[in-house]
Amino acid sequence: MRLRLLLSATLLVAAMTSARAQVPLSSYVDANGFIDVQTLTCAQLAGTYQEDADALTAWYSGWYNGLAKKHFLDLRKGKIAEHEVIVYCKANPEKRIIDAIAVVFKAERELMGIQMK
């Protein structure tokens, strides 16, 4: 809980002190119209429009759930995880989004007492 409060406070301070122009997610497409989701940074996520950030985090959620062979959506947990990734990304703009997701998932597993091998 303290980590979440600290991250939320960091996000609030970052939002108040930096006003960057937002760009559409389409700014990151290659010549074939694709986005390399493994190289996108937190700064790019934070710098895009909210609806694009939502679409991108929904895509990542589907990707990870597909890898885990999960076929259900827990909307509440998904929104919480999305928020935590965005908070982490705003505090760590140099990190890749996939690394931010790993940090958030690890923290959530630790809170639930789940140990990974």
pTM above the 0.75 mark?
no
Averaged over 100-117, what is the pLDDT? 84
One-character DSSP codes across the chain: -HHHHHHHHHHHHHHHH-----B-GGGG--TTS---TTT-BHHHHHTB-HHHHHHHHHHHHHHHHHHTT-----HHHHHHHHHHHHHHHHH-TTSBHHHHHHHHHHHHHHHTT----
pLDDT of residue 74: 83
For residue range 35-72, list pLDDT tens digits in order: 999 999 999 988 889 899 888 888 888 888 888 888 88
